[in-house]
Amino acid sequence: MRRLMFPALLAALLPQATAAHVVRHNAMPAVYWGTWAPAAEACRDGDKTAFVLAAKRYVGPAGSCAIASVSETPTPNGAMYSARMECPGKGAQAKKITVVNLIIRSDKDDQISVGPSFENLTAHRRCSAGGEGAK
């Protein structure tokens, strides 16, 4: 009887140990704050492909959005983040709030992949903070 209890207990607990644990944050981690662009040339002021991340704010192609929450999911290659953003409409729709998701995966030093879904992730590099082309 004892021989059967241990494998049964192990089988019951093992799936819980391997499940991903999502952690919710109320702000974007500081490591991702700054201006990001697909190429160094896009770091110049006025480029439509660059975006800025701050603790509770995103400014970029999706507009100027408030970051409502951030979910962190561990992966074998490091944490992956999903930001839930609230973006106001444009023009006559300014009072209508649209919920937009932004997935952020760290690739290597000062490079991330970003997009609204896993199928649409694109590589972005951090723009220099004080150098030429910084926003």
Q: What is the pLDDT of residues 8-57, one digit of tens each?
A: 544 555 554 445 588 999 999 999 999 999 988 888 776 788 999 999 99
> Mean of the pLDDT values across residues 102-110?
89
Task: Give residue 11's pLDDT.
Answer: 56
Please indicate whether residue 109 or residue 9 has the higher confidence score (pLDDT).
Answer: 109
Residues sharing a CB contact under 8 Å with residue 122, sequence separation 6 or more, in sequence order: 38, 113, 114, 115
Band of residue 128 on the pLDDT scale cut at 50, 70, 90: confident
**Is the pLDDT reported for residue 133 higher than 50?**
no
Q: What is the DSSP string of 47-65?
A: -TT-EEE-SSEEEETTEEE
**Cα–Cα dist 118/25, whole Å:** 20
Please indicate whether residue 52 or residue 109 has the higher confidence score (pLDDT).
Answer: 52
Task: Give residue 132's pLDDT.
Answer: 41
DSSP H stretches of helix in the chain? 2-18
Reported pTM: 0.74
Q: What are phi and psi of 18, to 5 degrees?
A: -95, -5
